[in-house]
Amino acid sequence: MKKTGAEILWECLVREGVEVVFGLPGGAIMPVYDAMLNYPIHHVLVRHEQGAAHMADGYARASGKVGVALATSGPGATNLVTGIVTANMDSVPIVCITGQVHSHLIGGDAFQETDVTGITLPVTKHNFLVTRADQVAQVVREAFYIARSGRPGPVLIDICKDAQTEQASFEYPQEPALLGYQPPLHAPPADLKKAVALIEEAQRPVILAGHGVLMSDSMQALQMFAVKTQTPVAMTLLGLGAFPASHPLSLGMMGMHGEAYANLAIQNADLLLAFGMRFDDRVTGNLRTYAPRARKIHIEIDPSEVHKNVKVDAPLVGDLKTVLTDMMPMLDEYDHDEWLSQIKRWEAESEERDILSWPDDGKLYTAHVVRDLWRATGGDAIIATGVGQHQMWAAQYYKFDQPYRLITSGGAGTMGFGLPSAIGAWFANREREVWIVDGDGSFQMTQAELSTAVQEKANIKIAIMNNHFLGMVRQWQEFFFESRYAGTPLAGPDFVRLAEAHGIPARRVTQPEDVLQAIQFAHDTLGPVLIDFQVEKEEAVYPMVPSGADLDAMIRRPIRRTRAVTQA
């Protein structure tokens, strides 16, 4: 049957199970938009294409499916780039579809022509330029396959306008036709044996669980492994939720703003088991002094990550779930009681320093707000964040027992990610409560998407931790630049009135005792709600490993001698 390239595109998207696309129309993508009306796929109109990419990203992170963003040529496509970089750094499967000028105009600097495949080449897993309608079906098939298989990532399809309008016969390909690309599955048995021998010898093992655990759906395998071998589990920022925070073997988050006892455990370990993580500088600190006594096992699907930052003793290249399943029967049960009780002692000391253990001084701290939010939502909300101090506090104080709940930009550290990614996450999971924990700086970067939330009646709850600073940079200035606050004091709008101008109910909270009531108000109100929390202006995230310092050389919060009365 003959169809236009635009129709073929939608036929393919329907077959890939796409329910929603996020985009903004323009000249070069108009035939695709026109054909869209005949297909059962919901379109979300964004206010800026960066939002479209972040929404697709949030949708993918919350659902495990591929998110789709749509944009026109030129500036429409270049506005996607920050969102593509964000997805690429965090290995999130999205497919971005952009319009391109007529194929015969390419290279002639036509109106809104940009070399989009050239621009996105280094920041996508793969990209395609489609110049004929008969290429569309094969390309879409391959794009989705590439995006979600192996180490997932963003794929971009740039479709010329004439390829959208001309006709071709349509048949959806059963298989992608890729000669080389074939992600590894099993690790070789010899490598498995070597790793098992290291596990048998270990006295002080620690598992490092990363985003790969979530991407490969290995949560159960990880838990079985940890319990059987009695190995504590520290998580990267993106790994939060991979292992229940409330589990006795959980060490919480590691790294720059990780739990001090998690970092101490890593530095004193004799074996690290890195599962689907890539030893980013934010989790290792100084590489020369990183886990100096530990041998290392690295289970990783991307061979280019092996030995990249940290030289490992036993690399296992393969799919994490498959490798763990293969390894499980080879393992005995172990106990590491002495090691675990050592960690417990470190943990107790950390608790003393925790701001939640401080006496109530009447001030509003983000830590308290997040703790209250965690309790009020039963720990089961989806939490989307921007980037900065509020992000770290959300990671520290919202205790994630479930996977796919934290939607945050890790590798790229993209401010403005919160609001659009939350809208995307809501489309992936409309029954679950979706909260955005954002900073006033981050929020202002993409606040135009408030209109999108209203137009879509997205049931998202926005909590702005408003400290009138670009807080994380301010903290670095306080610690490392003699408190010279260059470019960090931040005037914002009246967020309550801004929300109300959008027709969004809003509240301002200045007192700790009003926090729970405001959360309840947001919970009880259908549709978007905004709460402006006026938090302490010059509070710092602790502990902190200064950039490039040894992982156990943390700046700690000073201990306050008077302990708070434990709150109910």
Partner 1 sequence: MQSTLIALVENKPGVLNRVASLFRRRNFNIESLNVGRTERADISRMTIVIDSESGAARKAEVNLYRLVNVIDVQDVTNQPAVTRDLALIKVKATPEQRAEVANLAEIFRAKIVDVASESVIVEITGTEDKIESLLELLRPMGIQEMVRTGQVAMMRGTACGVRYAPGANGHHPAKDRL
Q: Return the half-sphere exposure (C-beta side, CA atoms, 13 A cut-off) of residue 51.
A: 23
Name which of 176, 225, 216 is nearest 301 in CA terms. 216
Q: Considering the rule CB under 8 A, would residue 193 count as an interface residue with partner 1?
A: no
Judge if the upstream peptide bond of residue 173 is cis by omega within 30 degrees of 0. Answer: no
- Interface pick for partner 1 out of 42, 307, 457, 537 (rule CB under 8 A): 307
Q: Backbone dihedral region of 202: left (phi > 0), alpha (psi from -120 to 50 degrees) or beta?
A: beta
Task: Report the C-alpha gap between 557 and 106 in whole angstroms.
Answer: 58
Question: Taking CB under 8 A as the rule, does residue 226 contact partner 1?
Answer: no
Q: Which of 112, 223, 342, 402 is catalytic?
A: 112
Residue 489 lies near partner 1 (rule: CB under 8 A): no
Give the HSE-up count for residue 140: Cα atoms under 13 Å, Cβ half-sphere: 28
By CB under 8 A, residue 303 contacts partner 1? yes
Task: List for the chain the helix, strand, coil content (%; round to 5).
Answer: 40, 15, 40
User: Vertex 425, ends 403 and 472: CA angle to 5°?
Assistant: 80
227 is a site residue for partner 1 (CB under 8 A): no
Shortest separation between residue 178's beta carbon and partner 1, angstroms: 7
Question: Is 189 among the residues that bind partner 1 (CB under 8 A)?
Answer: no
Minimum distance between the CB of residue 308 and partner 1, rounded to whole angstroms? 8
Which helix (H) or strand (E) covers residue 522, if one does?
helix 515-524
Q: Could you say which of 7, 11, 49, 305 is catalytic?
A: 49
Binder of partner 1 out of 62, 101, 140, 187 (CB under 8 A): 187
> Is 11 a known active-site residue?
no
Q: How far is the CB of 184 from partner 1 (least distance, A)?
A: 4
161 among known catalytic residues? yes
* 125 close to 155: Cβ distance less than 8 angstroms: yes
Tell me: does residue 118 bind partner 1 (CB under 8 A): yes
Under the binding rule (CB under 8 A), the answer on residue 121 touching partner 1 is yes
Nearer to partner 1, 181 or 480 (CB): 181
Residue 130's contacts (CB-CB under 8 Å, 6 or more residues apart) are 5, 136, 139, 157, 158, 159, 160, 163
117 binding partner 1? (CB under 8 A)? yes
The DSSP-derived string for 379-431 is: T-SEEEE-SSHHHHHHHHHS---STT-EE---SS--TT-HHHHHHHHHHH-TT
Q: Contact region for partner 1 (CB under 8 A) — 78-86, 226-234, 298-306, 383-391?
A: 298-306
> Is 65 annotated as catalytic?
no
Considering beta carbons, is residue 178 or 227 the nearer one to partner 1?
A: 178
- Give yes or no: 461 in active site: no
Answer yes or no: 49 catalytic: yes
Q: Which of residues 141-180 bind partner 1 (CB under 8 A)?
A: 146, 178-180
* Interaction of residue 107 with partner 1, rule CB under 8 A: no
Pick one of 52, 306, 387, 470: the residue that binds partner 1 (CB under 8 A).
Answer: 306
The answer to whether 88 and 124 have CB atoms below 8 angstroms apart is yes
Measured between alpha carbons, how far is residue 195 from residues 7, 16, 224, 313, 330 in Å? Answer: 51, 38, 17, 8, 10
Chosen residue from 125, 295, 296, 405 binding partner 1 by CB under 8 A? 125
Does residue 184 touch partner 1 according to CB under 8 A? yes
287 forms part of the interface with partner 1 (CB under 8 A): no
Shortest distance (Å) from residue 142 CB to partner 1? 8
Check residue 182 for interaction with partner 1 (CB under 8 A): yes
Segment interacting with partner 1 (CB under 8 A) among 82-90, 116-124, 273-281, 401-409: 116-124
Q: What is the 3-state secondary structure (H, E, C) of 321-382?
A: HHHHHHHHHHCCCCCCHHHHHHHHHHHHHHHHHCHHHCCCCCCCCHHHHHHHHHHHCCCCCE
Stretch touching partner 1 by CB under 8 A, among 90-98, 220-228, 302-310, 555-563: 302-310
The b/e string for 430-446 (b: 16+ C-beta within 10 A; e otherwise) is: eebbbbbbbbbbbbbbb
Number of residues engaging partner 1 in binding (CB under 8 A): 27
Closer CB to partner 1, residue 75 or residue 118?
118
Q: Give the footprint of partner 1 on this chain (CB under 8 A).
A: 117-118, 121-122, 125-126, 129, 146, 178-188, 302-304, 306-308, 317-318
Residues marked as catalytic: 49, 111-112, 161, 472
